[in-house]
Structure 1
Amino acid sequence: MENYTFNSPTLQLEALNVSEASVYPVFLLFLFAYLFLMVANMSIAVLILIDKNLHQPMYLLFCNLPLNDILGNSILMPRLLLDMMKPSSELFISYYECVVQAFTTHMFGTTSLTVLMIMAFDRYVAISNPLRYAAIMTNKMLMKLIASAWGVALVLVGVLLGLTIRLNRCRTLIESPYCDNASLFKLSCESVFINNVYGLTFTVVLFTCSIGSMVITYTKITVVCLTSKSKSLNSKALKTCSTHLVVFLIMMFSALSNITLHRFPQFTDYRKLSRILFHIVPGSLNPIIYGVQSKEIKIFLTKFLESKKVLPLS
Structure 2
Amino acid sequence: MGRILMEYYNKTVVTEFILLGISNYPSAQIVMCVVIFVFYLIILLGNGLMIVLITLSPPLHTPMYFFLSNLSILDVFYTSCTLPQMLLNCFSHRPTISYIRCAIQMYVGLFLGITECFLLAVMAYDRFAAVCRPLHYTLIMSKKLCIQMVTTCWAAALVITLMPLLMQPTQFCGHNTINHFLCELQAFLKLACSDTYLNEIVIMVNSFLVLIVPFFFILLTYGRISLAVLHLRSVKGLSKAFSTCGSHLIVVSIFYGSAISMYLRPQGKSFSDYDKIVTLFYAAVTPMLNPLIYSLRNKDVKGAFWRLIGKKVPE
TM-score, normalised via structure 1 length: 0.88
Q: State the 1:248 CA deviation.
A: 0.5
Output the CA distance in 2 between the equivalents of 1:223 and 1:261: 32
Within a 5 Å distance, the mapping from 1:206-225 to structure 2 comes to 206-225=210-229
Of 199-208 and 178-187, more deviation after overlay is shown by 178-187
- Secondary structure (helix, strand or coil) at the match of 2:12 reads coil
Q: Deviations over 1:263-287 (max 9, x none)?
A: 3568722322332332110011110
> Aligned partners of 1:84 and 1:249: how far apart in 2?
30
Q: How many residues align?
A: 304
Moved more, 183-192 or 211-220: 183-192
Displacement after TM superposition at 1:306 (Å): 5.1
Superposition pairs of residues 50-89 of structure 1, within 5 angstroms: 50-88=56-94
Q: 1:201 aligns with which of 189, 201, 205?
A: 205
Contact 1:164 1:181 in 2 (8 A): no
- Show the 5 A alignment for 1:1-314: 6-17=12-23, 19-88=25-94, 91-165=95-169, 167-170=170-173, 171-229=175-233, 231-259=235-263, 263-264=267-268, 268-305=272-309, 307=311
Percent of matched pairs sharing the same residue: 26
| SS of structure 2 residue aligned to 1:164 | coil
What stretches of structure 2 of length at least 5 have no aligned partner? Answer: none
* Contact 2:17/2:96 (<8 A) preserved: yes
2:289 maps to a residue whose letter is L
Using the TM superposition, give the Cα deviation of residue 259 of structure 1 relative to its aligned residue in structure 2, in angstroms.
3.9
When residues 19 and 180 of structure 1 are mapped into structure 2, their CA distance, relative to the original with a 3 A threshold, is: closer
**Larger deviation, residues 234-243 vs 63-72:** 234-243
Letter in 1 for 2:177: L
**Residue 304 of structure 1: how far off its partner (Å):** 3.5
Give me the whole-angstrom Cα distance separating, in 2, the residues matched to 1:270 and 1:184: 17
Matches of 1:37 and 1:218, distance apart in 2:
27
Q: Cα RMSD between the aligned structures? A: 2.4
Please say which of residues 7-16 and 76-85 is displaced more in the overlay. Answer: 7-16
- Report the equivalent of 1:312: none
Confirm or deny: 8 A CA contact 2:22 2:29 kept in the other structure. Answer: no
1:261–1:195 CA distance, 2 compared to 1 (3 A): closer
Give distance in 1, aligned partners of 2:152 and 2:57: 25
Stretches of structure 1 lacking an aligned partner (at least 5 in a row): 309-314
1:168–1:190 CA contact under 8 A, matched in 2? yes
What TM-score do the two structures reach when normalised by structure 2? 0.88
Per-residue displacement from partner, 1:34-82 (whole Å, max 9, x unpaired)?
1111111111111111111100001101111111110011111111111
Aligned mates of 2:231, 2:198 — CA distance in 1: 49
Could you say what secondary structure the match of 2:17 adopts?
strand
Could you tell me how far apart the structure 1 residues matched to 2:13 and 2:181 are? 20
C-alpha distance after superposition, 1:171-207 (max 9, x if no partner): 3222322112222233322221210111111112222
Counterpart of 2:21 in structure 1: which amino acid?
A: A
Query: SS at 1:132's partner residue?
Result: helix
Work out the CA distance in 2 between the residues paired with 1:260 and 1:193: 15
The one-letter code of the counterpart of 1:203 is: S
Structure 1 residue 110 displacement after superposition: 1.5
The letter of the residue matching 1:226 is L
Q: 1:130 to 1:260 in 2, by over 3 A?
A: closer
Measure the CA separation in 2 of the matches of 1:206 and 1:80. 26
- Greater helix fraction, Structure 1 or Structure 2: 1
For the residues of structure 1 that align with 2:19 and 2:243, how far apart are their CA atoms? 44
Cα 1:111–1:172, aligned 2, differ >3 Å: closer, same or farther?
A: same
The one-letter code of the counterpart of 2:150 is: I
Inter-partner Cα distance in structure 2 for 1:85 and 1:46: 33
Does the aligned pair in 1 maintain the 2:5–2:13 contact within 8 Å? no
2: CA distance, partners of 1:236 / 1:23: 44
